Amino acid sequence: MNVLVIGAGAIGLQSAFLLAQAGCKVMVIDQSAAGQEASWAGGGIVSPLYPWRYSAAITALAHWSQDYYPGLGEALKQQSGVDPEVHETGLYWLDLEDEDQALAWAHRHSRPLHRVGMEQVHAAVPSLGEGFSSAVYMPGVANVRNPRLLQALRAALAKLPNVTIIEHCPVSGFINDGARVVGVQTAQGEMRAEQVVVAAGAWSGNLLATLGLKLPVKPMKGQMILFKCAEDFLPSMVLAKRRYAIPRRDGHILVGSTLEDVGFDKTPTEDALESLRETAIELLPGLADATVVKHWAGLRPASPEGIPYIGPVPGHEGLWLNCGHFRNGLVLAPASCLLLTDLMLDRSPCIDPKQYAPAGRL
* Cα–Cα nearest to 352, from 322, 320, 323, 311: 311
How does residue 190 score in pLDDT terms, banded at 50, 70 and 90?
Answer: very high
Once rounded to an integer, what is the mean pLDDT over residues 352-359? 97
- Sequence-ordered list of residues with C-beta below 8 angstroms from that of 25, at least 6 positions apart, any chain: 1, 2, 3, 162
Q: Which amino acid is at 230?
A: A
Type of residue numbered 236: S
Q: Residues 118, 238: one domain?
A: yes
Q: Is residue 75, in this structure, part of any structural domain at all?
A: no
pLDDT computed for residue 359 by the predictor? 95
Check whether residue 233 and residue 346 sit in a common domain.
no
User: Of 264, 282, 302, which one is at a domain's C-terminal end?
Assistant: 302
SS3 179: coil
The answer to whether position 46 is within a domain reads: yes
Q: How far is CA 216 from CA 18, 136, 236, in A?
A: 27, 34, 36
Q: Are residues 162 and 191 in the same domain?
A: yes
The CATH number that applies at residue 225 is 3.30.9.10
In a domain, 35, yes or no: yes
- Candidates 223, 234, 241; CA nearest to 287 is 234
Which DSSP category does 260 fall into? B
**Listed residues 256, 280, 302: the one ending a domain:** 302
The sign of the dihedral angle between the CA atoms of 297, 320, 208, 170 is positive
Residues 119 and 105 sit within 8 Å (Cβ to Cβ): no
315: left (phi over 0), alpha (psi -120 to 50) or beta: left
* Contacts with 137 (C-beta within 8 Å, 6 or more apart), sequence order: 90, 91, 92, 93, 113, 114, 115, 116, 121
d(CA 322, CA 208) in angstroms, rounded, equals: 12
Question: From residue 163, how far is each of 156, 157, 328 by CA, in Å?
Answer: 10, 6, 26
CATH number of the domain encompassing residue 41: 3.50.50.60
Residue 85 lies in a domain: no
58 with 189, same domain? yes
Same-domain pairing of 154 and 286 = no
CB burial class (10 A; 0-12, 13-18, 19+) of residue 70?
middle
Mean pLDDT on 245-273: 96
What's the confidence (pLDDT) of residue 232?
92
Element (H, E) at 206: helix 204-209
In a domain, 79, yes or no: no
- Determine how many CB atoms are found less than 10 A away from the CB of residue 36: 17
Q: What residue numbers bound the domain in which 115 lies?
A: 91-139+218-302
Look at residue 83 and tell me if it is in a domain: no
How confident is the model at residue 214, as a pLDDT? 97
- 211 and 229 belong to one structural domain: no
Helix 10-21 to helix 146-158 angle, to the nearest 10 degrees? 30
- How much is the pLDDT for 171? 98
What is the average per-residue pLDDT within 54-65?
95
Per-residue pLDDT at 302: 96
Looking at the structure, tell me whether residues 283 and 239 fall in a common domain.
yes
Can you give the pLDDT at residue 255? Answer: 97
237 and 297 housed in the same domain? yes
- Residues 127, 226: one domain? yes
How many CA atoms are closer than 13 Å to the CA of 347, on its beta-carbon side? 13
Answer yes or no: is 77 within a domain.
no
In the chain the beta strands, taken as DSSP E runs, fall at: 2-6, 25-29, 86-88, 91-94, 114-116, 135-138, 142-144, 163-166, 171-177, 180-186, 189-192, 195-198, 218-228, 237-240, 243-247, 252-256, 292-302, 309-312, 319-323
Domain count, the chain: 2
Last residue of a domain, one of 285, 302, 319: 302
Percentage of the chain beyond pLDDT 90 is 98
Looking at the structure, do residues 209 and 310 belong to the same domain, yes or no? yes
Looking at the structure, tell me whether residues 11 and 156 fall in a common domain: yes
| Helices (H) then strands (E): counts for the chain | 9, 19
Q: What is the mean pLDDT of the chain?
A: 96
What's the pLDDT tens digit per position in 68-120?
A: 999 999 999 999 999 999 999 999 999 999 999 999 999 999 999 999 999 99
Classify residue 187: in a domain, yes or no: yes
Pair (45, 133) in one structural domain: no
